Amino acid sequence: MTRDVVRKARLSGERTEDIESLLSSMEADKYIASSDVLVDMAHLVMLTRQQIVHEEYAKTLMKELLAMHESGVPPDAFDPSYEDIHAGIETILTKKTGGDAGGRLHIGRSRNDEVATCLRMRTRDIIIDQLEAVCRLRSVLLSVADGHITTVMPGFTHLQHAQPVTLAHHLLAYEQIFSRDYDRLFDALHRVNCSPLGSAALASTGYPLDRMYTARMLGFDRILVNSMDAVASRDFAEEILACDTMLLTHISRLCEELIIWSSSFVQFVVLDDRYCSTSSIMPQKKNPDVAEILRSRAGAVLGAFVSAITIVKGLAMAYNRDLQDLNPHLWRGISNVRRDVDLLAGMMETAEFNRERMAEEAGKGGTTTTELADTLVREFDIPFRTAHHIVGKAVRDGSLDLATLDKAAEEFHGKSLSSLGVTQEKIESALSVETSLSVRRLPGGPAPEAVRSALDNCRKELKKDVEQVSNKKLNISASLDELLTQARRIAQL
């Protein structure tokens, strides 16, 4: 059995398989292996630049690191006899380059700051993927909304018909929710993209490291200043899990509506067949299975968040091995979110909305009675609560004709509506879906002109966000390109 290069001097005895399986983080470390190689390269470039490691040793090590970067981390590095991928890579490098060279890579560094750096790099990449996906989803929602500015439908409260809106207005509500999810994720990225490298185990190091240099090489915005905080804190993981829990919760809400709307009861939407399944026994079935699974995903991410934050809650400063057990929850929680967002975008983009059914339901259930009450207030100077009582009593009595409203008005207002000049034509106009929509033209309202204005504003915000995440991605890529340039220079010395 290959001995872990970290373990062989201080500890003796062979571990059982149970001990190895408990302590090994190899399954989760598959997510950070490529990042670990980049961290090794940046650390070695810095050690060479600071004249801590002689160029001869640096050249030997860098050739092997570049080979790993270009060809992938060899499978042997994932042997469970190593506690983690960091020890696996170091052991293999030492075996290939000899102890005199391989033993110098870890100068001024602990696995504690190394793993914290790798976790942040991988999490950073996943957040950027998620940000790009959320922008794609928002773009789809805006595109679909643009085609349904005048598609009337009922708005709901308590899942009961409430007031008329349009499909565009409804979809813009979700676009606004997802725009805030974008903001939360991008804001979290600011706290994720900080370098712990150079903090060592917890108390920094006496070597003259250049922490800012390695941070820039790896695409970080800044360093984490306190070395204990740098190695022991995982609030960046907790935060992204919390953000993704909210994002998946919002996806779940929209999927719930798609599931209801696609039912035979409602028939507001027909989902593309590729997002549906059929029954193994009932040949007529078309089940919205993708929407159902996406609806469930919020629970899985929430579970990962609760697990992660519970692991951290009782840990004394600084590093504790418990933190290793947080990583699988992090990857399980955040790794498939990009896929989920893109699936929802595809489902929305290919959905066919039934304008006729939506229009048929738009005025049902008394959805326009609010506008009737508002008309009595605006045009006939009746107090709103009184108008509310008048219309509510008429609804209870089963009719909104002038005679029924007159009777209710005499009870609550002491005079009939007819005596105030209210006509049946006025009542019917107020009760029309078109009137109810057209008067609600305030910013954020469902009137077509308000929706068009909202669409324009949303497009501007989306364009800004797309450019923002693109620039961040380009900056990180440029930093890593410079790292590879410096690494190749050392390898050719």
Q: CB neighbours (10 Å) of residue 172?
A: 24
Extract the tokens encoding 292: 């159902």
By C-alpha distance, which of 139, 119, 121 is closest to 131? 139
Catalytic member of 12, 71, 158, 280? 158
Annotation marks residue 296 as catalytic: no
Catalytic member of 279, 296, 399, 477? 279
Compute, in degrees rounded to 10, the torsion defined by CA atoms 70, 74, 75, 77.
-130
154: β partners: 164
Beta strands in 20-157 (DSSP E): 152-157
- Which residue type is seen at 13? G
By C-alpha distance, which of 258, 190, 196, 193 is closest to 227? 196
- The 3 state secondary structure assigned to 332-375 is HHHCCHHHHHHHHHHHHHHCEECHHHHHHHHCHHHCCHHHHHHH
C-beta contacts of 15-20 below 8 A and 24+ residues apart = 15/81, 20/80, 20/81
Annotation marks residue 453 as catalytic: no
**Residue 312 Cα distances to 44, 84, 322, 335, angstroms:** 31, 20, 8, 21
Alpha carbons within 13 angstroms on the beta-carbon side of residue 269 total: 26
Cite the DSSP H helix spans in 162-285: 167-192, 211-217, 227-232, 235-261
Q: Which residues are catalytic?
A: 158, 279
